[in-house]
Structure 1
Amino acid sequence: KIKVVKKYIIWATLITALISFPIGWFTGSLIYLPLLFDEKGFFSPLIFQSQQKELSLLKYSIKNLQNYPYQSSFIVIKNEMNRTPDYVSYLFSFQTLNKTMTGQLNIPTTPSPAQGYPVIVMLRGYVPEEIYQTGTGTKAIAAIFAKNGYVTIAPDFFGFGESDLETEDSWEARLQKPISVIELLKTIKDNPEITTDAGVTKLDDCGCKTGLWAHSNGGQIALTVLEVSRQPMPTSLWAPVTVPFPYSILFFSDEHDDEGKGMRKWVSMFEDDYDVFDFSLTQHLDKLSGSIQIHQGTSDDAVPSTWNDEFVDKIRVENQRREKLLEEIKTSTQSGELETPLPPIGISYFKYPGADHNMKPSWDAVVQRDLVFFNEKLKN
């Protein structure tokens, strides 16, 4: 009897298995097969993979910024800040990234040239928000430029002056700055007339008489703008931050209350998701063109002179690459298949023994060199 019972148990188990298997397979296919295949019907090896992380900052890579849909607006005078015999300073605003950004605008009192005033867009370095006022970091040299016939335009950037607040993500705000500068340049070119209480002032409307001046962190923004726009704008850089991203950020992190702990953590997470080369200006020197002069003090404790020594060396290597490629194109029977490089970058590098981050005590000499540079590039 025991043997008979065991036989029935075995047969019952087999029959149950035969019935349960197709039912289980059918039910499981309804639940799990969609996880095995993507929406196009291709097999996915990651059965339980969650949705791919959204790389929201990738749109700010240098390559992607080249295809960004930049918008122009209008320069609007908000009020007069200061009046001198040589120029008048105004608080102005324009629209960028669908928000309002303010800044300081200087207009010479000399009659406007027929083709419009030459323009110098000025990008300041880091200034603590609690001590910042419109014009901080640019107004002294802007006054010299204005006295010599240039309209100067210095944006405050978001969160400063009377500008709208910057985005809550401070890292995104950092990466957005080149967009605002390019949209300001586009505004100058597309809508070059500014209405003030004295009448209409015409600016350079061809983009051929507009230059960039930048200091410290502003230099990093200016170089990114040049690479993204691929426009050969004459540019003067005072102690620019030119080291690779993200070292350019980490270097200053020890000044924070947490001695950079939070910043290092963010950079670590950033590098898990992104290729930092996509955001580093030193990896895109092949897109740089035009005339650039760099001023560097040897006693600068904010931007070590070795940074710009190395950066200028990288530019010279890039120029050699371009010259070699041009020679190959000239001698090749298949030159049509070779990339045509940009002309060599016109780089001038000046070092000032004992000068600090603000070029003191060589400030006057640096300004004079800038005047000669911009007069040659924007007026002659």
Structure 2
Amino acid sequence: MMRRLLNLVLLLLIAGAGYIAFMAPEKLPFKMPWASTRMAPTGEKGAPTTDTPSPTAPLGEVTDAALKAFVAQQPISIQALRAREYPGSALKVVRKLNPGVNYSRQIVSYQSDGLTIYGLLTVPNGTPPRGGWPAIVFNHGYIPPDEYRTTERYVAYQDAFARAGFVTLKSDYRGHGHSEGEALGGYNDPGYTVDVLNAAASLKKDPRVNRARLGLWGHSMGGQLSLRAMLVDPDLKAASLWAGVVASYDVLATDWNRAPGEEKRTLNPLGRRYLRALSPNAYLKDLNGRPIQLQQGTGDEEVPYSFQQDLAHDLRAAGQNVEAYRYEGDNHNLSRNLGLALRRSVEFFKANL
């Protein structure tokens, strides 16, 4: 059955291209048309391509068990990520920066997959509370890797949590800034998610941090990474996702980033089943009540507001704890309501970490 599934779909995730695609044509046992690659509006290579092979066997012959086993072989899958280990390392201070109002700032490094990854760490001043400070792994959205700088972007966002008494660690991700490794994208390759999970593991090793009070904040692509990390590491207690690319993969493949006038792309039934099973959204019950906060503007031109609506619906259907905020007409960065949105996220973490 597994071989038949391979022959039917072969919707493999290829590392190195930065987007979800099909296997090379010379490796397919049949002829298949190819779609052109299109860039996500933020510049990242995002949505899956949508051409699917025309199977010679009935689609219904692929059982759910066989499909699940095939999905588990994909490195980006939740099953494969859960099978890995995330030891992290002690955080090494590389450079001290000018302090914030009531917190210190340092560029630090940690280990992930044998790579040295850099990030920006903030630590509240004073004596930690009993058990240590609560901490937030801060996951930025897409920035062209060669343009990324550790100390640029998201300054006001990270400052809000630092002022409120949280340790924060903003990972650069591999291939960004001075971090080692290759930047292969956040959707088809597990690397960024691995870096996020090792960032969390490194915070757990810090004696100033309370490992029982760890959360995640994620924006755009960072929302996808945060959701996936939550489903892999049960020690991550809560996540606030802003304008997250959090739709199921089949929705990303068909509904995201269409050109003006372009018809809606389609998937055959097996392709849709596969992409749904590959998506983190298929595992929402595994949150086991750990809360998720969603915030997005309806004027977002990068990520459709419907992505937040769909995830909120799916979380509620899965019996999970979710709060969702809508900002009428606001953009991808919630520029018009930034102060309010940050206050809501700070209060969310104070209540849940």
After TM superposition, the score normalised by the length of structure 1 is: 0.66
Letter in structure 2 aligned against 1:367: L
The residue matched to 1:348 in structure 2 has which SS?
strand
Separation (CA, whole Å) in 2 of partners of 1:296 and 1:306: 10
What CA deviation, in whole Å up to 9, does each residue of 1:250-293 have, x standing for no partner? 766679xxxxxxxx9xx99xx69x94344311222222230111
Are residue 284 (structure 1) and residue 288 (structure 2) matched? no
Q: What CA distance in whole angstroms lies between the structure 1 residues aligned with 2:227 and 2:334? A: 20
Distance in structure 2 (CA, Å) of the matches to 1:278 and 1:176: 20
Contact 2:137 2:215 in 1 (8 A): yes
Among candidates 72, 80, 88, match of residue 88 of structure 2? 72
1:184 counterpart SS class: helix
Match of 1:357 among 325, 332, 345: 332
| Structure 1 pair 231–171 and aligned structure 2 pair: CA distance change class (3 A) | closer
What SS is found at the alignment partner of 1:131? Answer: coil
For residue 161 of structure 2, the aligned residue among 145, 152, 159 is 145
- 1:192 match: 206
Q: Whole-Å Cα distance in 2 between the matches of residues 165 and 254 of structure 1?
A: 31
Tell me the CA shift for residue 63 of structure 1: 1.3
Residue in structure 2 matched with residue 81 of structure 1 by the alignment = 97
Contact kept in structure 2, 1:123 and 1:138, CA below 8 Å: no
Matched, 1:242 2:249: no
Deviation at 1:112, TM superposition (A): 2.1
Q: Deviations over 1:134-163 (max 9, x none)?
A: 144432111111112111100000111210
Query: Residue type matched to 1:134 in 2?
Result: T
Q: How do 1:140-219 residues align onto structure 2 when only pairs under 5 Å count?
A: 140-166=156-182, 174-189=189-204, 191-193=205-207, 202-204=208-210, 207-219=211-223
Q: Which amino acid aligns with 1:183?
A: N
Q: Distance in 2 between matches of 1:223 and 1:172?
A: 12
CA RMSD of aligned residues (A): 3.2
Aligned to 1:226: 230
Name the residue aligned to 1:95. 111
Instruction: Assess if the C-alpha contact under 8 Å between 2:220 and 2:244 holds in 1.
Output: yes
* Percent of aligned pairs with the same amino acid: 26
User: For the structure 1 residues 159 and 352, does the alpha-carbon distance in structure 2 shift closer, same or farther, using more than 3 Å as the test?
Assistant: same
How far apart, in 1, do the equivalents of 2:166 and 2:180 lie?
27
Letter in 1 for 2:287: L
Matches within 5 A, 1:1-380: 58-166=74-182, 174-189=189-204, 191-193=205-207, 202-204=208-210, 207-231=211-235, 233-245=237-249, 247-248=251-252, 275-289=274-288, 290-319=290-319, 345-378=320-353
Runs of 4+ more than 4 Å apart:
54-57, 169-173, 249-255
CA pair 115-171 structure 1, distance change in 2 beyond 3 A: closer
Which letter maps to 1:185?
A: A
Q: Distance in 1 between matches of 2:338 and 2:187?
A: 34
* AA aligned opposite 1:371: V
Residues 62 and 278 in structure 1, CA contact (< 8 A), matched pair in contact too: no
User: Higher mean Cα deviation, 236-245 or 80-89?
Assistant: 80-89
Letter of the structure 2 residue corresponding to residue 140 of structure 1: A
Q: Which piece of structure 1 moves more, 113-122 or 94-103?
A: 113-122
Code of the residue aligned with 1:188 in structure 2: it is L
* Partner Cα distance (1:173, 1:222) in 2: 15
8 Å Cα contact 2:140/2:222 also seen in 1: yes
Query: What is the number of equivalent residue pairs in this alignment?
Result: 280
Larger RCO, structure (CA 8 Å, separation 6 or more): 2
CA distance in 2, matches of 1:250, 1:91: 40
What is the distance in 1 between the residues matched to 2:277 and 2:258? 25
In 2, Cα distance between equivalents of 1:87 and 1:154? 15
Gaps of 5+ in 1: 1-49, 194-201, 256-263, 320-344
The CA deviation string for residues 294-352 of structure 1, in whole angstroms up to 9 with x for no partner, is: 00101111111111111111112111xxxxxxxxxxxxxxxxxxxxxxxxx21001101
Paired residues of 1:85 and 1:109 also in contact (CA < 8 A) = no
Which structure has the bigger radius of gyration?
1
